[in-house]
Amino acid sequence: MIYSMTGYGKATAVKNNLNVEVELKSVNSRYLEMFLKLPSSLANKEYELREILKSKIKRGKVNAVIKIERNEIADLASIINEQKLKDYIRLLEKVKKMGKIKDEIKLDHIINSRDIFITTEAELSDSEFNLVKRTLNSAINNLLEMKKKEGVELAKDLQKRIKKIERRVTSIEGEFKKSINANYKKLKERAAKILGDANIDKDRLNLELALMADRADITEECVRLKSHLKFFVESMSKDPEAGRKLNFLCQELNREANTISSKSISTSITHKAVLIKEEVEKIREQIQNIE
């Protein structure tokens, strides 16, 4: 089973006065890259959250946003910096005295100064952090489900292209078997025409022509191509991290197609090898989306 690297997952949870929301987005990347946007109450838990993501996602650029909200009304006294409040009131009294201002100090004058408020979020309890982890895992499962569905569609396209290549390899093999004797005969006639009535060693000539025909033999390349194609299909269905392996197999498929194209003395076989290379390139493009 192959997974796409592109996906989206979201999950929310509510328990007592705590609301947790996790949003995950994943796109293509050569390696695993993770970018976490966390509230300050989770700053000391980032490593653990990263490990949860790493345990289930192997490749891709993953953006994770975790939001935490409390429903209860905060105790204002607990978020006020008392020393700064006293200093600020003394400052206002001094300004009044220096400016000979008779107006009374009002609440509006005080709350306009943000420095007197402490914005540090309360630390999460163990049960609250467990809720965050469960929500993260739910979001990951939703992300993986989308990646799996896209992977199924990718697999269908790849299998279709693999079958195209298999048909062309079979066609090349059949054409080569039919043409090998004809090519040998053609080489012999050409040599005879060039040499004319010259006194030559026929056994040596036949040996040289046989060697030339042997150098054009593409049987091994076709066998390796079919072997790579078989391994490719097996990796798609069995390898949980198929992306890198499939990319390597694409390189090998392209190498064999290049060799067939360069060795063959049949124009038709060369054209078929070029078509195989085109199909391999399309496969390579699709593989960039696979985890």
DSSP states along the chain: ---BS-EEEEEEEEETTEEEEEEEEEE--SSEEEEEE--GGGGGGHHHHHHHHHHH--SEEEEEEEEEEE-SPP-GGGGB-HHHHHHHHHHHHHHHHHHT--PPP-HHHHHT-GGGB--PPPPPPHHHHHHHHHHHHHHHHHHHHHHHHHHHHHHHHHHHHHHHHHHHHHHHHHHHHHHHHHHHHHHHHHHHHHHTT----HHHHHHHHHHHHHHT--HHHHHHHHHHHHHHHHHHHH-TTHHHHHHHHHHHHHHHHHHHHHH---HHHHHHHHHHHHHHHHHHHHHTTB-
- CATH class, range 7-72+124-148: alpha beta
Angle between helix axes 267-287 and 242-263 (nearest 10 degrees) is 170
Q: Are 7-72+124-148 and 153-287 equal in CATH topology?
A: no
Q: Are 289 and 5 in contact (CB under 8 A)?
A: yes
pLDDT at residue 74, rounded to an integer: 45
Q: So what's the pLDDT on residue 261? A: 86
Q: What is the model's pLDDT at position 196? A: 64
- Output b/e per residue, 107-124; b: 16+ Cβ within 10 A: eeeeeeeeebeeeeeeeb
CATH number of the 153-287 domain = 1.20.140
Residue 201: the pLDDT is 59
pLDDT in tens, the chain (291 residues): 788 999 999 999 998 888 999 999 999 988 899 999 999 889 899 999 999 999 999 889 999 999 998 875 444 444 677 777 788 888 888 888 888 787 777 777 677 666 666 655 567 888 999 999 999 999 999 999 999 999 999 999 999 999 999 999 999 988 887 766 666 666 666 666 766 655 655 666 566 656 666 666 788 899 999 999 999 998 888 876 788 889 899 999 999 999 988 887 778 888 999 999 999 999 999 988 888
- Per-residue b or e along 179-193, where b marks 16 or more CB atoms closer than 10 Å to that residue's CB: bbeebbeebeeeeee
Domain boundaries, the chain: 7-72+124-148, 81-116, 153-287
Q: Do 216 and 270 contact (CB within 8 A), yes or no?
A: no
Report pLDDT for 77: 43
